[in-house]
Amino acid sequence: MGERILIIEDEQKIARVLELELQFEGYETGVAHTGTDGLILYREQSWDLILLDIMLPEMNGLDVLKRIRATEYDTPVLLLTAKDAVSDKVAGLDLGANDYITKPFEMEELLARIRVTLRFRKKEALEEADPYLFTAGQLRLHTQMREVTWQGEPVELTKREFELLAYFIAHPKQVLTREQILDAVWGYDYYGDTNVVDVYVRYLRQKLESQLIQTVRGVGYVLKEG
């Protein structure tokens, strides 16, 4: 069974062409010709992607998008916009649209954008289901593969640096004392200087080129969202 795409488009000829092309590509489709009917259909069934025209009767596309994003951000929305409607494109992206394509458009380009959007959604879903993957904003750490990326770039860490960062990312936004960090990363039998935590935090800051790990004066450290 293919992915399900909801088409909300008031021009019936365009909607029909989209429906036939998408079905030919193996997608299941639903069609609505007004903003109100589109919102009803969206709420009644489950969809993998929504093609949403902005200029709709009864309720315009931006209002439909606003109502969708008021409840969830998981379903990708690709806007169909008029050629000169720059403000609508900006407003749509600000409201949570994933992408837009300008009318008139080439069907191959639209299909390519749909494929990319759905691929990205699948990737996100797989990552969310991966128990070994931890994220904090643009920081990503995989405990099983022992890989770290920051802003999409790989970061090379020593074993101790990795364990320290893994401890931080497992406790995001939580203020951790030096003693807690020592016990978790260096072990309960460590009797050295607690300043070793400060040294390794400095190493991480240098390698990430970021103040993602922030000092809480008199207490310890906290990992903020990147």
Six token digits for residue 43: 């709420």
Q: Is 36 exposed, middle or buried (0-12, 13-18, 19+ CB in 10 A)?
A: middle
Spatial distance between the Cα atoms of 125 and 166, rounded to a whole number of angstroms: 22
Radius of gyration of the chain, Cα coordinates, nearest whole angstrom:
24
CATH 1.10.10.10 given to domain 133-223: yes
Q: Is the pLDDT of residue 165 over 90?
A: yes
The predicted model gives 64-90 an average pLDDT of 87
DSSP 118: H
User: Nearest to residue 10, comparing CAs of 35, 30, 29?
Assistant: 35
Q: Is the pLDDT of residue 122 over 60?
A: yes
* Residue labelled with tokens 């991480």: 204
Q: Beta-carbon neighbour count of residue 142 at 10 Å? A: 16
- pLDDT attached to residue 130: 64
Q: Is the pLDDT of residue 133 over 90?
A: no
- pLDDT attached to residue 74: 84
DSSP 18: H
Q: Is the pLDDT of residue 42 over 90?
A: yes
- pLDDT attached to residue 211: 83
Options 3.40.50.2300, 3.90.340.10, 3.40.50.300, 3.40.50.1220; which CATH number does 4-128 get?
A: 3.40.50.2300
Q: Is the pLDDT of residue 193 over 80?
A: no
Domain map of the chain by residue range? 4-128, 133-223
Q: Is the pLDDT of residue 100 over 60?
A: yes
Tell how far CA 66 is from the center of its chain: 18
